[in-house]
Amino acid sequence: MQKACVIGWPIEHSRSPIIHGYWLNKYSIDGSYKKHAVKPSELTTFLQTLDENGFCGCNVTIPHKENVFNQIIVTDPVTIEIGAVNTVFIENGKLYGLNTDGYGFLSNLKSITNWNSAEKACAVIGAGGAARGIIAALKNDGLKTISVFNRTFAKAEKLATEFGPSVQAKRFDDLAGFLSETDLLVNTSSLGMIGQPPLELSLHNLPSHACVADIVYDPLETELLRHAKKNGNKVVDGLGMLLHQAVPGFEKWFGIRPEVTPELRDLIVADLQKEKVL
């Protein structure tokens, strides 16, 4: 039996077991995927014994993504740019790492819109861990310019310096005025998430052809997406990214490239709603 898991500290909140459990069942695979709480002090030993403990790999979540990156082999250029790993797999007894967050974002965007990055301009709100993954994937997909608007300007500047001339740091307060030049607006900040302040932004200047994506998925329809719909823009919610980022790991561990289905999406939506009733 093939065994995989997701590690983090804490780990209770992870919905990855629902996603991988659904695919294991759908494809009748004799495998398992469980949550595994790993303290930061236990991470190195966990990785060193992954193979001998019978695992074929794992997903990695907060706070381990950067530490795992520093401890295993990474050959994928996008993951090297991101500097953090969310998927570990074993080949010839060695541990390899990938970051599939940006892939998940882009793959979802392309699956529900006719997005083509060539010659396009994107505005990214936020400069945290999720922004890094998305910026790396968009840059690699050929976007012309990626403008990063972050509350802490220095963090946007740091990203722009690291990612090179197509990525530019902008002042958060200049965002509304900048929207007229934007083909894709992405919120990667935690604004709009349940328990956080809303993202208050006038979309008046945003062209009607522009896409608006929010990677926050609780609530599924954020205020940003509600406004964008009213403004006539195509909208992309954050749940699709969560589902699509899981695809490469499942394929590495269990040998089948799984499909993101409406039924899988419904399972996670039901789980999000269950939490609110409890």
CA angle, 127 then 232 then 107, to 5°: 50
Residues 5-34 that bind ligand NAP (CB under 6 A): none
Indicate the residue among 50 and 60 with the shorter CB distance to ligand NAP: 60
Q: Which of 217, 250, 253, 254 binds ligand NAP (CB under 6 A)?
A: 217
Cite the DSSP H helix spans in the chain.
16-26, 43-48, 65-69, 77-82, 101-112, 129-140, 153-163, 175-178, 223-230, 239-244, 247-254, 262-277
Q: Cα(6)–Cα(59) distance, rounded to whole angstroms? A: 4
Q: Cα(173)–Cα(264) distance, rounded to whole angstroms? A: 38
Minimum distance from residue 245 beta carbon to ligand NAP (Å): 6
Residues 238-257 that bind ligand NAP (CB under 6 A): 238, 241-242, 245
Question: Residue 74, Cβ neighbours under 10 Å: how many?
Answer: 20
Q: Which of 34, 66, 76, 129 binds ligand NAP (CB under 6 A)?
A: 129
Minimum distance from residue 228 beta carbon to ligand NAP (Å): 16
Minimum distance from residue 117 beta carbon to ligand NAP (Å): 19
Indicate the residue among 29 and 100 with the shorter CB distance to ligand NAP: 100
Question: Residue 39, Cβ neighbours under 10 Å: how many?
Answer: 12
Q: Which of 95, 216, 228, 235 binds ligand NAP (CB under 6 A)?
A: 216
Q: Cα(130)–Cα(258) distance, rounded to whole angstroms? A: 23
The answer to whether 60 contacts ligand NAP (rule: CB under 6 A) is: no
Burial class (CB in 10 A: 0-12, 13-18, 19+), 53: exposed
The answer to whether residue 65 is catalytic is: yes
Binding mask 159-198 for ligand NAP (x = CB under 6 A): -----------------------------xxxx-x---x-
Residues serving a catalytic function are 65
> Which residues lie near ligand NAP (CB under 6 A)?
101, 126-131, 150-152, 155, 188-191, 193, 197, 215-217, 238, 241-242, 245
